[in-house]
Amino acid sequence: MRSLALLVVFVLSACGGSPPRVPAPDALHRTWVEAPADARLASWDLEDGSGQPFDEARLHGRFSVVFVGYTSCPDVCPLTLRTLARVLDAPDLQDLQAVFLAVDPERDRPVLGELVAHHHPRIVGVTGTRDAIDHAVSQLGAAYQLRASGLVDHSTSLFLVDPTGQVRGYVLRPSDPDRVAADLRAAIASLQPVRLSPGWVPPSAPGVRVLAGFGALQNEGAQDVAVVGWTSELAREVALHRTVQVDGMARMEPIERLVVPAGGAVALEPGGMHLMLTEPVRPLAEGERIAVVARLDSGVEHTVWLDVELPR
């Protein structure tokens, strides 16, 4: 997936018009294409469905998929939105954000917020002035064309943006939720190598003030990474600690910086290194899955997952 690839963006007539040129046989089977290395988003000046400003900073800190379309589209856009809704419900893609970039603002703006909310709460609808739309579409590597009939021709791919605002690749023909989810999982795994597997935390009861999380913190990338901070919406504070024995007594020592070697793993296990979740906001029930965010020294944040289950 990391190999350079020549991207050919097929702009399909989403709701009519002449048929597109038949792509080369290889493109018929390819569903993921890597983006150019310099495809970074900047100077966005859009607004969301609630009228709030939407710039490229709202794409930072998590992976996002952006889809270009328009609210009056009767075919491709609703199909893609339904596909995205299924993808966003996948347990391991709960941190993914989806953005519907609507390119027909006069008709899109009045209904945009309600339309995307109908499909899924994590789909954000955005639009703006013609210049702002053109700027965003061009930076993504997408395209669209307004037609006199009121229909709009537009790119049909999903554009994957990493937590730093760089376009990393394109999911082609995103109609099958299982296939789209598989493509995104593989892409994110290659771009965000840090994961906790298998991560787990024991169930808790009311009144429990501290929980410990365990697992193997793995780095599947080609470079060492240093984790320098942890957060979770579930707990007031998350930190990494090590249990040490001193004169027959156990003591917790905080670890402010943990280096995970390239292609290696660091064990978090009972009696050793572990995540400490202080003051959970609610009890945890067996079978749940909770998110913890690991912040790297590069400033990038990665979400890792803990399954709530009985001690191993």
For position 309, what pLDDT does the model report?
A: 92
Q: What is the C-alpha R_g of the chain?
A: 22
Residue 111 pLDDT: 97
Which stretches of the chain score pLDDT less than 50?
A: 1-25
pLDDT of residue 19: 40
- Cβ contacts of residue 229 below 8 Å, gap of 6+? 294, 295
> What is the reported pLDDT for 37?
83
- Phi/psi of residue 77, each to 5°? -65, -50
**In this predicted structure, what is the pLDDT of residue 10?**
33
SS3 category, 117 = helix
Residue 205's pLDDT is what?
85
Contact 171, 31 (CB under 8 A): yes
CA distance 127 to 274: 44
Residue ranges and CATH numbers for the domains of the chain are 11-191 (3.40.30.10), 194-308 (2.60.40.1890)
Q: At what angle do helices 76-88 and 112-119 cross, to 10 degrees?
A: 50
In degrees and rounded to multiples of 5, residue 20 shows phi and psi of -70, 160
Q: Is the N-terminal amide bond of 203 cis, ω within 30° of 0?
A: no
Which helix (H) or strand (E) segment holds residue 183: the answer is helix 177-191
Per-residue pLDDT tens over the stretch 201-243: 999 888 899 999 999 998 877 789 999 999 999 999 999 999 9
Please tell me the distance from the alpha carbon of residue 141 to that of residue 2, in angstroms, as a whole number: 19
How confident is the model at residue 7, as a pLDDT?
Answer: 33
Q: Which residues have C-beta within 8 Å of that of residue 200, sequence separation ≥ 6?
A: 213, 214, 215, 306, 307, 308, 309, 312
Helix (H) or strand (E) holding 138: helix 130-140
pTM: 0.66
For 176-198, give one letter per residue: b (16+ CB within 10 A) or e. Answer: ebebbbbbbeebbeebbbbbbee
Q: What is the pLDDT of residue 1?
A: 38
